[in-house]
Amino acid sequence: MLRLRSAAGRWVVTATVLGSGMALLDSTVVNVALPTIGRDLGASLAGLQWTVNGYTLSLAGLILLGGSLGDRLGRRRIFMIGVTWFALASALSGLAPSIGVLIGARILQGIGGALLTPGSLAIIQASFAAQERPRAVGAWSGLGGVAGAAGPLLGGWIVVAAGWRWVFLINLPIAAATLAVTARHVPESRDPSVTGRFDVAGAALAALSLAGITYALIGAASASPAAVGAAAGAGAGAGAGFVWLERRRDRARTMAPMLPLEVFASRQFTVINVVTFLVYGAFGGMIFLLVLELQVVSGYSALAAGTALLPVTLLMLALSARAGALAQRVGPRWLMTGGTALCALGVLALSRIGPAASYPADVLPAVTVFGLGLSATVAPLTATVLASADVRHAGVASGVNNAVARAAGLLAVAALPALAGLSAGSYHHPVAFFHGFQAAMYVCAGLLGAGSALCGILVDNRVLRPRDGQPVPAPECRTSCTVGAPPLEHVGD
């Protein structure tokens, strides 16, 4: 087993940070480029929604399956396949001649992300000695956070200096470096205890459910009622089929289900995932529309819009660890309650951003309040998710929370424009977009307010306390463990 201070240990961290950082960087720069992509490819607002959601859809639907593949077939192998797949899909995205091709390439990118993202942490968990894992994971998280912090700024600069296509093409040299380091320095690992067949049907039903519901939400403003109804019905039916199939497999024990439903026997686990859905839904929808608002309505350049949200990421990097430690001492309930309430206030302040908005007076105070709230919320939320599930389900619990966060962002980006009255061409008309943006921010603030109320009423403040005189054990994560919800990856996605 490796040690972090050894050369071999540092190479393993470097490989995993390069891979996960590539996926994180890609997701944080795309929103900055959306107005330019729309103008260049003649895309409607629905096309831009699918540019974001195509990636999130395949990633959220397949991330648990990607984790299982690594456990069974080799974590390094699946990680390298994911990096290669992601790079090829990035090349196709950068060369896309139309919005339809770009959306298809983004879906392929999400598949690559589902293979490499969970595997990056699993390689660290499998490669390092137990006493070295917390420091190795901390290095992985911190260095990955740097990629998240740099993403919006770098994305804006790339769009201005080289064009939106290089937002995707920049992944090619990063992927080449990742593959070279991984092939030379990363040991292979598997989980010998995993047996049985893959739950391919479960993964397919989950992805079809998300796809049907997302299509119905995005198409509500422009597609025919029959098409919207058919998509919604298919999505709901696939979702019901997924629950039925997973319950059947959980009872029969003939095949390991992709989602063991027994993890939801814990009320705390269920409550925290509902809070995750509300918080990340509001976050994903807000980010998608805010970067468009700054460019379409306020007249910001892509570079200025990309840097506008930098305070959120910097506050997360500076304060999240402290918030997690404080939650261990005083309990997570009031930190999460106050944090989500601060987020709601920040979003309400963002609703004031309009034509000729001043960054120091209008944008910076709002994103600072939001960043402070998010910093107080995310680390306690992640710790509570893991503490609420049985230790033997730690990997599944974290993977579920990650998938819930991604699905929330996916559905919010799909639903918010229609709820706010934004039509397919609204982003070409600043006045119409401004009014729709205000309505959407009120919806996001309501979601965060509901999350704050749930935290204050239902979160058990004792969940992080030592059990029977022993500290709450740190979970051993396999490939499906992704350290709870991904706070930084949604900055700009």
> How confident is the model over 330-370, as pLDDT tens digits?
889 999 999 999 999 999 999 999 998 999 999 999 999 99
Question: Can you give the pLDDT at residue 102?
Answer: 96
Q: Is residue 80's pLDDT more than 90?
A: yes
Instruction: Write the pLDDT tens digit of every residue in 13-37.
Output: 888 888 888 887 777 778 888 989 9
3-state helix, strand, coil in the chain (%, to 5): 80, 0, 20
Question: Can you give the pLDDT at residue 183?
Answer: 92
Which of 224, 255, 286 terminates a domain? The answer is: 255
Average pLDDT score, the chain:
83
Of 170 and 390, the structure prediction assigns the larger pLDDT to 170
Residues 219 and 327 in one domain: no
Cβ proximity of 374 and 487 under 8 Å: yes
Q: What angle do CA 94, 23, 175 make, to 5 degrees?
A: 70
Bridge-partner residues for 2, per DSSP? Answer: 128
Q: How far apart are CA 57 and CA 106, in angstroms?
A: 10
Cβ-count burial of 4 within 10 angstroms (0-12 exposed, 13-18 middle, 19+ buried)?
buried
Q: What angle do CA 156, 158, 164 make, to 5 degrees?
A: 95
Residues 188 and 96 in one domain: yes
Q: What is the mean pLDDT of residues 253-274?
A: 78
**CATH number, domain with residue 471:** 1.20.1250.20
Q: What angle do CA 17, 19, 21 make, to 5 degrees?
A: 60
Residues 231 and 175 in one domain: no
Residues 289 and 400 in one domain: yes
Q: What is the mean pLDDT of residues 470-488?
A: 40
- When divided into structural domains, the chain yields a total of 3
Residues 369 and 434 in one domain: yes
Residues 247 and 366 in one domain: no
pLDDT-wise least confident of 40-49, 173-182, 216-225, 279-288:
216-225
Residues 18 and 46 in one domain: yes
Residues 46 and 130 in one domain: yes
Residues 219 and 350 in one domain: no
**pLDDT winner (highest mean) among 36-45, 95-104, 121-130, 380-389:** 95-104
- Read off the amino acid at residue 208: L
For residue 245, what are the domain limits? 197-255
Residues 270 and 185 in one domain: no
Of 143 and 237, the structure prediction assigns the larger pLDDT to 237
Bridge-partner residues for 470, per DSSP? Answer: 467
pLDDT-wise least confident of 115-119, 250-254, 440-444:
250-254
pLDDT band at 218 (very low <50, low <70, confident <90, very high): confident
pTM of the model: 0.81
**pLDDT winner (highest mean) among 55-59, 66-70, 102-106, 240-244:** 102-106
Which of 177, 195, 213 terminates a domain? The answer is: 195
Residues 476 and 354 in one domain: yes
Task: Dig out the tokens for 93 from the structure.
Answer: 């995205």
Residues 229 and 273 in one domain: no
Q: Is residue 448's pLDDT more than 80?
A: yes
Q: Is residue 427's pLDDT more than 80?
A: no
Q: Is residue 258's pLDDT more than 90?
A: no
pLDDT band at 470 (very low <50, low <70, confident <90, very high): very low
Which of 255, 274, 301 terminates a domain? The answer is: 255
Cβ proximity of 309 and 152 under 8 Å: yes
Q: Is residue 472's pLDDT more than 70?
A: no
Instruction: Write the pLDDT tens digit of every residue in 307-320.
Output: 888 888 788 878 87
